[in-house]
Amino acid sequence: MGSKKTWLFIFLIAIPLMLLAACGNDDGSSDGDSEGGNEEGEGGSGDLVIYTARDQTVVDEVIPLFEEEYPDINVEVLTMGAQQILERVRGEKSNPQADFWWGGTQSAFDTAVEEDLLQSYEPDFAEAIPEEYKDPEGHWYGEIILPEVIMYNTDELSKDEAPQDWDDLLDPKWEDEIIIRGVLQSGTMRTIYSAMIYRQDHEDPEAGYEWLNKLDANTTDYAQDPTNLYLKLARQEGTVSLWNLQDILLQKEQHNQPFGYVMPESGAPILVDGVGVIKDAQNAENAKLFSEFLFSPDIRSKLSEDFFQIPTRTDLEDEQQPDWLKDLEMNQMDLDWKIMAENETEWMEHWDQNIKNSN
C-alpha cells in the first residue's frame, strides 16, 4: 500500500514538471528556429561563383573580407577579361555556371541585357547610383567609373612632353612609341577604340577607321594582357599607351612603376564598370549578398583609398573619400553609349580584320 502511495506521489509531482519542461522546450525551440532562420537568411550559406575582370589585388582584398562576414558561403572566383566574361556567360546561358559578374563595361552589360543573360534586381543601394550608371530595369549597376586616358613612361617623358590629346597620338613622332593592350579581349580597349570611331562620325565609321589606321602605324606592339603591357612600357619598348586611370595609378603607387597620365584635352571616355547577377544563377541570393557587401560605404571608401577606384555612389560622405579623389578633375567625352554598344562588335571586327598590323 505504501508503495502505491509513493508511486502516486511521484506521478503527481512528475506531471507538472513534464508539462513545464515541454512548454520550456516549445518556447526554446520556437525562438531557436526563428533566430537560426534569420541568421541563415541574413548570413547566407552554400556556394557563390564569381566571374571577375578585376585586378587580382582587388579580388584578394575584397573576398577575404566578404568571407569573414559570411563564413558559411564558399566563394569561387574566376578571373578573365571583361569581353571573355560576356562570351563565357553567353556560352553557358542554358546551364549557368556563374552567379555574379563582377567587372565589365557598359557596352558588355547592355549586350548581356539584350541577350537575356542577366536577372533584374533592386539592391538597397540602387537609389544612390545615378541613372546614367545603371540599367533602367535593374539588370546591372555601375560600381566604378574609369576615365580612359593617355598613359606614358615618366622615365622617358615629362607630362608636358607626352601627347596631350587623342589626335596627338597620330603625329609621326610617336611612330613605334605606342604599345596597345590587345584590343578584342579587353573591354577597356574596345571602349576606347569605339569612342575614337564615334567621335569622328558615328553614322559613317570610315573616318574612324582611318583614324585607327593612323594609330596602328604608330603602334609598335599589341600586348596580350595588362601585365605584358606594363612590362613592355616599363622596359621602354614603347613610351605611350592608352589605358584606364585607376590601373595607371595602381601601378604607379603600389608597384612603383614609372607611369603617368594625361587627361585628354578634348575629353576622356568615362567607362562605367559594373556588376550583375547572372540569370538563372544557382546561387542568386548569395550573389545579391555579395553585391550589397561590395557597394557598402565602408568597402567603397576602402577601395577608393587603397585601389584608386572612383565609386558611382553619390551618397558617400566627404570623410569617406580620399584626398586624391576630391582633387581629381575629369573632362568627360560626350558619347552615346547605346549607339556604341550597338556597333561595337562590327567596328572591332573590321579593325581586327582590316587595320590591325596593316602598317
- Which residues in the chain come in under a pLDDT of 50? 1-41
pLDDT at 349: 98
Q: What is the pTM of this model?
A: 0.75
pLDDT at 22: 44
pLDDT at 43: 60
Q: Write down all domains in the chain, each with its CATH number in brackets.
A: 45-145+272-327 (3.40.190.10), 146-270+333-355 (3.40.190.10)
- Count of CB atoms within 10 A of residue 220's CB? 16
56-60, Cβ contacts within 8 angstroms, sequence gap of 24 or more: 57/250, 57/254, 57/307, 58/303, 58/307, 58/309
Between CA 141 and CA 132 the distance in angstroms is: 10
Q: Residue 133 has which C-alpha cell?
A: 550608371
Check if the beta carbon of residue 111 is closer than 8 Å to that of residue 85.
no
Helix, strand or coil, per DSSP, at residue 156? coil
How far apart are the two ends of the chain, measured CA to CA in Å?
Answer: 116
Between CA 349 and CA 347 the distance in angstroms is: 6
H or E element, residue 273? strand 270-278
Between CA 141 and CA 130 the distance in angstroms is: 10
Between CA 102 and CA 11 the distance in angstroms is: 66
Q: Residue 323 has which C-alpha cell?
A: 584626398
Between CA 140 and CA 109 the distance in angstroms is: 7
Check if the beta carbon of residue 123 is closer than 8 Å to that of residue 149.
no
Spell out the alpha helix ranges (H) of the chain.
2-43, 56-69, 82-91, 106-114, 187-201, 206-218, 226-234, 245-255, 284-294, 297-307, 323-327, 337-350
Between CA 346 and CA 348 the distance in angstroms is: 6
Between CA 304 and CA 321 the distance in angstroms is: 7
Angle 88-93-127 from CA coordinates, rounded to 5°: 90
pLDDT at 10: 45
Q: Residue 219 has which C-alpha cell?
A: 603602334
pLDDT at 105: 86
Tell me the CB-side half-sphere exposure of residue 15, using CA atoms within 13 A: 5
Q: Among all chains, which residue has been given the C-alpha cell 558611382?
A: 312
Cα dihedral 115/117/122/123 (nearest 10):
-140
Check if the beta carbon of residue 321 is closer than 8 Å to that of residue 304.
yes
